[in-house]
Chains A and B, each alone.
Chain A
Amino acid sequence: MSLTTLDNYFLPGSGSEVIELLQEYGERAMLVAGGSFVHGLAARDLLPGIDVFIDIQKLGLADVTVGSEGLQIGAMTRLAQLAKVPEVQDAPEWGAAKDALRYPPVQIMNTATVGGNIAAACPYFDLPTAFLAIGGNVLAQSNAGTREISLDDFFTGLFENSLGQDEFITELALSRPVPGSASAFIKLETNANDLAIVNAAVQITVESGICQSARVALGGGVNEIPLRSAAAEKLLKGQSLTDALLKEAGQAVQADISPMADHRASAEYRSAMARVLTERALHRAITRLN
């Protein structure tokens, strides 16, 4: 049941109609994709002032294309659909995405969209962390046209993103890393239906035994937004990835995070788990390289 009472529920058929509605209703309007996050907010009376939903399911935007550039994912792609893409299942470079899509229950996989998972800017969701490690852009459409926003700049605060008032996501474009790269993701959860206590994702590129580049991302309440650990990335780059170094990288992330304390975990526990998960994710990515 919804504690939010709505005036209207629109199902526009084109991007320009969406923009018109966003402009007309401004702060009163909320975009709805799968609705799984929006519903949770409405059920808890957390949508003050909102009385119009704009459901974007009729826009299509549900194609996934794999090319030399990378992985282009339409904003309305359901998590279940992305998980079934053969390249996502098999290729080491998309390993972090594959891992992240293993956790949600089937009913959420069938409902939740990739665009909604990113746009929510919820620190406890999994795709933001996985995608930050892989790297790429959010494509957004507004009255001013289409623009690309780097995932590194997309999350601006707790439940806040860098989209403008009349702007919506059309696509997630993940960059294809150079050959010799692999990624991995791990989530710590209390049960199969819960959000992350901490999650960690890494992408590494190794050539002749030396780490050419590393991306280390963390989420799940280690900060108000998912983030990358510059300290860990710097430590790994140019080095041989020994067990001892992976352990150090785990310790290094602790300097870059400022964990929250809530009903799921204390800040200290999150910090300890961020260390452990980073190290494990690195081991998992290395396994994928071989």
Chain B
Amino acid sequence: MKQLISLDINGEVHELAVAPQDSLLQVLREELGLIGTKKGCDTGGCGCCTVQIDGQAVYSCMTYAMSVQDKPVVTIEGIANNGKLDPLQQAFIDAGAVQCGYCTCGTIMAARELLASVPDPDEDQIRHAIAGNLCRCTGYQKIVDAIKLAATNSA
């Protein structure tokens, strides 16, 4: 039985009917068309579905839509500011940290929580923050470089 709920996504409140077992990921992609958030494993662990809820990085595939009513959710679509890319998005481009791109949005969302609390992270802190995000292409070094670059550019 579907229930009517309201979700705060990227600062916009959406009223929509969800089934009680629907994940936030499903609702983002299938109901709201926000397909920047990717579906990989769908069971928690690959990281490409990462979004921020109340500023914290979480796997949206294992978060029930019912459980995030009225909590601010931010997805990759919500981080650019007035048409200007977020420093992390720009740094991923500049450092060449995107290959196939499937992991990128999730990794940026995880890195975003890190930079909000640790503006100048060292390599260990960066690698720890993205340990829940798998990348099959880059070998991670350029991702780490990109996050360092974003930190430098935001300073």
Interface residues, chain A, with chain B CB atoms under 8 Å away = 1-2, 4-9, 11, 32, 35-36, 39-40, 42-44, 53, 55, 57, 80, 105-108, 110-111, 192-193
Cross-interface CB contact of B44 among A1, A40, A55, A80, cutoff 8 Å: A40
CB <8 Å contact, B20 and A9: yes
- Option from B20, B44, B113, B134 in Cβ contact (under 8 Å) with A53: B20
Stretch at the interface among B55-63, B73-81, B83-91, B92-100: B55-63
CB pair B132 A55 closer than 8 Å? no
Identify the closest chain B residue to A110 (Cβ): B56
The answer to whether B62 touches A6, judged by C-beta atoms less than 8 angstroms apart, is: no
- Inter-subunit contact B47/A57 (CB<8 Å): no
Distance to closest chain B CB from A102 (angstroms) = 9
Q: Which residue of A lies closest to B18 (CB)?
A: A9
Q: Which B residues lie at the A interface, using CB under 8 A?
A: 1, 3, 19-23, 26, 42-45, 47, 50, 53, 56-59, 61-64, 66-67, 69, 110, 113-114, 128-129, 131-134
Q: Contacts A8-B20, A107-B110: A43 and B67 contacting too (C-beta < 8 A)?
A: no
Q: Is the CB of A39 within 8 A of B58?
A: no
Q: Are A2 and B23 also in contact (CB < 8 A) when A40-B62, A107-B47 are? A: yes
By beta carbon, the residue of chain A nearest B3 is A9
Query: How far, in angstroms, from A108 to B43 measured CA to CA in the complex?
Result: 12
Nearest CB of B to A24, in Å: 16
27 inter-chain pairs at a CB distance below 8 angstroms, sorted by A residue, are: A1-B23, A1-B26, A2-B22, A5-B19, A6-B21, A7-B1, A32-B64, A39-B23, A39-B62, A40-B43, A40-B44, A42-B21, A55-B64, A55-B67, A57-B67, A106-B129, A106-B132, A107-B44, A107-B59, A107-B110, A108-B44, A108-B59, A110-B53, A110-B56, A110-B57, A111-B63, A193-B131
Provide the bound-state CA to CA distance between A42 and B63, in Å.
12
**Chain B at the A interface: mostly helix, strand, loop or mixed?**
mixed
Contacts of A106 in B (CB 8 A): 57, 110, 113-114, 128-129, 131-132
CB-CB < 8 A to A40: which residues of B? 43-44, 62
B44–A39 CB distance below 8 A? yes
Given contacts A4-B21, A40-B43, A53-B66, 12 further A-B contacts (CB under 8 A): A1-B42, A6-B20, A9-B66, A11-B67, A32-B67, A35-B63, A43-B42, A44-B43, A53-B21, A105-B133, A106-B113, A110-B56
Which residue from chain B places its CB closest to the CB of A11 in the assembled complex?
Answer: B66
Given the complex, which residues of A lie within 8 Å of B50, measured CB to CB? 107
Is the pair B1, A8 in contact by a Cβ cutoff of 8 Å?
Answer: yes
Which residue in B57, B58, B132 is a CB contact (below 8 Å) of A192?
B132
Q: Are A107 and B58 interface neighbours, CB within 8 A?
A: yes
Q: Which residues of the partner chain A approach B21 to less than 8 Å between Cβ atoms?
A: 2, 4-6, 9, 42, 53
Chain A residues with CB under 8 A of B43:
39-40, 43-44
Q: List the 5 shortest-distance A-B pairs measured between CB atoms, nearest first.
A: A105-B132, A9-B20, A6-B20, A2-B21, A39-B62
Provide the bound-state CA to CA distance between A4 and B20, in Å.
Answer: 10
Say yes or no: B131 contacts A192, CB within 8 Å.
yes
Determine the chain A residues whose CB is within 8 A of the CB of B114 once the complex forms: 106
Interchain CB contact under 8 A, B47 and A105: yes
Q: How far is the CA of A192 from the CA of B58 in the complex (A)?
A: 16
A36 vs B128: C-alpha distance when bound (angstroms): 20
B132 — which chain A residues lie within 8 A by C-beta? 105-108, 192-193
Interface centre among B43, B62, B128 (most CB of A within 10 A): B62
Inter-chain contact B110/A6, CB cutoff 8 Å:
no
Q: Which residues of B contact A107 (CB under 8 A)?
A: 44, 47, 50, 57-59, 110, 132
Q: Are B67 and A193 in contact (CB under 8 A)?
A: no
Shortest CB distance B135–A (Å): 13
Closest to B68 in A: A57
Complexed CA–CA distance, A105 and B132 (Å): 5
Nearest CB of A to B107, in Å = 11
